[in-house]
Amino acid sequence: MAVGEEHGTADVLDVAVVGGGIAGLAAAKELLEAGLTVAVFEESAVFGGKAANRTEWVQTPEGPDRWWRWVSRLEQGVRSAGGRLYADTPVLGLEEGPEGWRLAVLVGGDVEEVSAQSVIVAAGARGQGLLFPGWAKPGVITADAARRMIFRDRVLPGRQAVVVGAVDEALWTARELKLAGATEVTVVRADHPVEEIEGVAGLLKGYAEKWPEGTRDALSERSLSEIPGDIHVEIDWVMGAATGTSGVETVTVVLAHGRIPAVELVQLAGVRFGYAEALGGWVPICGPDMQTTQPGLYVAGGTAGADTMTAEWLSGRLAGTAVARRLRPEKGVDDDSVEQLIAAWSRASGPVRAGARLRLATASECPDSAPLSNVWSEEGLSANGRAGVYSFGKRSVEPWTVVCRCEDVTVGDVVTAVEQGARSPDDVKRLTRCGMGLCQARECRSLVAEVMSQVLGKPVDEIPLPNVRFPVRPVLLEFLAGADAGDGTVRSVLSEVKEDD
């Protein structure tokens, strides 16, 4: 294993951490303190994830600090403690092996097989798309992209911007845009079910007056409907005395209404999922120790459910602590400390998200006794849907609205596929190529589920996840061809197709 040989580690790592964000680094820190060998694989060029681009203040164990500075110190601490950190190193596959778990890792131009006794997947959560005419046009970006452009690239996305979402993330994104030099920032509702969840907008009430001067608070009175070709945003007045429409000239629209967990790797490993809108949709089922339904496989951060930054950090600590107690019981923390971590995690998540996790853990053991939860695995759904039929609300979603940007598949294409008999995202993919592009359905899977739910009149948690295959990230065939093609995770696409045939 070149990864291990380069740094003199054992042939089998104690723990492999997938994702170098705040949760992955927090987990690595706990593991290193227990004396375990740890490697952290991050697919981007920079460690820290979302926290690396956030300037808000946070109360850290060392005192008040800004998120970006704190996560940078955490990274340096992991390096100093002997952690192996690999940037620009995506993990392409994950499966059980003879000594725990095997990962296929793209290192430079080589695909290498890495073995570890336990794996913590902290791959984060990605910004969610939002269907309305024009959302796929240039100039429509996610909140994470806006923050990255401002903080890392030192580029202002636009002097006039509309931030979409009546949630806390929209508040902070609007603040960052204004402080970076935007002349006018308007915040509008996404008209998405996530905005109705109690707790996701906890900071919005009472904080609007603290926004930088020039930021327009439109949260209580407007709703986004359309972006016409002249890059003006039409705002429907849906509350108050005003009627008609009001145009807001803009060069940037920022989608900040919600995130969906990045779960492709754990799905490939065969874990069970539960549905919780408050956590971003389908999330891996796990207990307070963050272990999934597959022994030795843990989740943390956004992969365990979209949550606050503090909650994601605490989930990483919990996952690292649980693995350390399992592999090094003599060095693990005591039960009281774990209970304090769990309590702090629940407080940081809030009662709605914490309650959703409790219901999902119950659903794993007794599916029929867990209201408002459904469980999905490779074997299928455990029960009838309980989340409700998806509604676009006041949003204008036309048949020509794009769903899959990679393959230019529209809402009308998805509707036609359903009318022809499609009953799952995989059926839609076979009929339309939706999800077969560069992103492999990572960007459009939630949108397809929303359309199918509305057309079929089914609860959205009766629409399963689309199938995933190795490799979970696009990779050149020449890299796979040079890999060891045994019976392990690293094998060519052609040999996998032959096996399926």
Identify which of 257, 253, 283 has the alpha carbon closest to the alpha carbon of residue 193.
257
Query: How far is residue 31's CA from residue 457's CA, in Å, rounded to a whole number?
Result: 47
Residue 9 near residue 39 (C-beta atoms within 8 A): yes
Tens digits of residue pLDDT in 283-317: 999 988 999 999 999 999 999 998 889 999 999 99
CA dihedral 230, 233, 237, 243 (to 10 degrees): -20
Q: Closest by alpha carbon to 449, among 197, 163, 122, 128?
A: 128
Structural domains of the chain sorted by starting position, each given as residue range(s) with its CATH number in brackets: 13-126+259-375 (3.50.50.60), 130-256 (3.50.50), 402-462 (1.10.10.1100)
Residue (of 316, 309, 348, 325) closest to 122 by Cα position: 316
Q: What is the pLDDT of residues 241-250, one digit of tens each?
A: 222 334 455 5
Q: For 366, list phi and psi in degrees, rounded to 5.
A: -135, 80
Please give the pLDDT value at position 22.
Answer: 96
d(CA 476, CA 473): 10
Q: What is the pTM of this model?
A: 0.87
Which residues contact residue 285 at a Cβ distance below 8 angstroms, ignoring those fewer than 6 apart? 271, 272, 273, 274, 292, 293, 360, 361, 363, 364, 375
Q: Give CA–CA dist 15/28, Å, rounded.
A: 9
Question: Comparing C-alpha atoms, which of 158, 337, 181 is closest to residue 250?
Answer: 158
**Most confidently predicted of 79-88, 105-114, 272-281:** 79-88
The pLDDT tens digits for 315-349 are: 999 999 999 999 998 876 778 888 999 999 988 88
What value does the mean pLDDT of the chain take? Answer: 81
Q: ∠ at Cα 194 (390, 445), nearest 5°?
A: 55
- Short-list 275, 307, 229, CA closest to 390: 275
Q: Whose CA is closest to 477, among 501, 494, 489?
A: 494
Residue that wins the pLDDT comparison between 493 and 171: 171
| Token couple for 158 | 């636009």
Cα distance between the two ends of the chain: 31
Q: What is the three-state SS of 145-207?
A: HHHHHHHCCCCCCCCEEEEECCCHHHHHHHHHHHHCCCCEEEEEECCCHHHHCCCCCCCCCCC
Is residue 114 within 8 A of residue 11, CB to CB? The reply is: no
